[in-house]
Amino acid sequence: MRFGLHLPQLGRSAGLEHIVRIARRAEELGFDDVWVADHVAVPTGLAGMPSFFPEPVPLLSAAAAHTNRVGLGTSVLVAAYRNPMQFAKQWATLDWLSGGRTILGVGAGWLEAEFAACGVPMRRRGQRLDDYIAGWRAAWAGAESYTSEHFSFTDVRVKPAPAGPAPIWIGGSSPGALRRAARCEGWMGTWAPREVFAERLAELRAHEQDAAAPTIASIHMEMRLGPPLNRGGRWSEVGDGYGDRPVAAGTVPQLAELLAGYIDAGLQHVLIVPLARSEAEWAAHVDAAAELKSLLGSGDRPGGCEDRG
Average pLDDT of the chain?
Answer: 90
Q: Is the pLDDT of residue 233 over 90?
A: no
Q: What is the pLDDT of residue 275?
A: 87
What proportions of the chain, in percent to the nearest 5, are helix, strand and coil? 40, 15, 45
Q: What is the DSSP letter of 153?
A: B
Q: What is the pLDDT of residue 100?
A: 98
Sign of CA dihedral 20, 26, 31, 34: negative
Rounded CA-CA distance 184/207 in Å is: 11
Q: How far is CA 67 from CA 16, 71, 98, 218, in A?
A: 14, 9, 9, 23
Distance CA(32)–CA(96), nearest Å, equals 19
Query: HSE (CB half, 13 Å, CA atoms) of 240?
Result: 28
Whole-angstrom Cα distance, residue 172 to residue 109? Answer: 9
Query: What is the mean pLDDT of the segment spanning 174-197?
Result: 95
Quick check: 263 and 227 in contact, CB under 8 A? no
**Closest Cα partner for 213 from 202, 205, 221?**
205
Q: Which residues contact 210 (CB under 8 A, 6 or more apart)?
A: none
Flag whether pLDDT at 305 surpasses 80. Answer: no
Q: How confident is the model at residue 172 (pLDDT cuts 50, 70, 90)?
A: very high
Q: Is the pLDDT of residue 307 over 70?
A: no
pLDDT of residue 219: 96
Q: List, in order of start, the domains of the chain with CATH numbers.
A: 2-82+103-125+161-307 (3.20.20.30)
Return the H-helix or E-strand segment holding 298. Answer: none
Model pLDDT, residue 13: 77
SS3 assignment, position 167: coil
Across 157-166, 204-213, 233-242, least confident range: 233-242
**pLDDT tens, residue by residue, 46-87:** 776 778 889 999 999 999 999 999 999 999 999 999 999 999
Other beta carbons less than 10 A from residue 79's beta carbon: 27
